[in-house]
Amino acid sequence: MTPKKGFTLVELLVVIGIIGILTSIVFVYLGVARDRAKDARIQADLSQVRSIAESINDDQTSYDTLCDTANNTLNNTAAANNYITQLTTIENDINDQQLGAAVLLTCYVGGTPEVYCVEAELISSGVGYYCIDSKGIAKVNSVAQCTAAGSVCTP
């Protein structure tokens, strides 16, 4: 009698179980990497907002038209400045990165001398908010820092 060639059912189940465990570990790490990539994109978008804000200030000697004061978001609703298209694209991209959640982007202009801050919530759990302002601060905060009262990111 020749011995049987092949695998037993138990051996196959063990191999399938190990592959399943390894696959689930990979999917968990891919999700974390995807969230970090979205956070990096939000930060890059806000860096573009900083450049646009300085261009608005150069054009108008004011940051006034950077923000839509009625909604505390980027001003992409009126022809108040020459950067409506860019601000709309940036706001839509941030919204896409945040998976279309409620507006998680805030923008304030005010004070004497005039200052601004723009802040967006990041995707990675427990990270918080990325804030930029007219004083050159760009940082991640665990809680929202950009408010109408201060219009700056807390250092």
Residues 133, 116: Cα–Cα separation, whole Å: 5
pLDDT score at 106 = 87
pLDDT score at 151 = 76
Task: Enumerate the β-bridge partners of residue 74.
Answer: 67
Is 62 strand, coil or helix?
A: coil
Identify which has the larger pLDDT, 19 or 152. Answer: 19
Share of the chain above pLDDT 90, in %: 28
Statement: residue 78 has pLDDT above 80: no
Mean pLDDT in residue range 89-110: 81
Say whether the peptide bond before residue 3 is cis (omega within 30 degrees of 0): no
Task: Enumerate the β-bridge partners of residue 118.
Answer: 107, 132
- Lowest average pLDDT, out of 77-81, 112-116, 151-155, goes to 77-81
Instruction: Locate the domains of the chain by residue range.
Output: 9-141
Mean pLDDT in residue range 75-102: 81
Residues 28, 68: Cα–Cα separation, whole Å: 38
Query: What confidence category does residue 14 fall into, taking pLDDT thresholds of 50, 70 and 90?
Result: very high
- The encoded tokens of residue 125 equal 């759990």
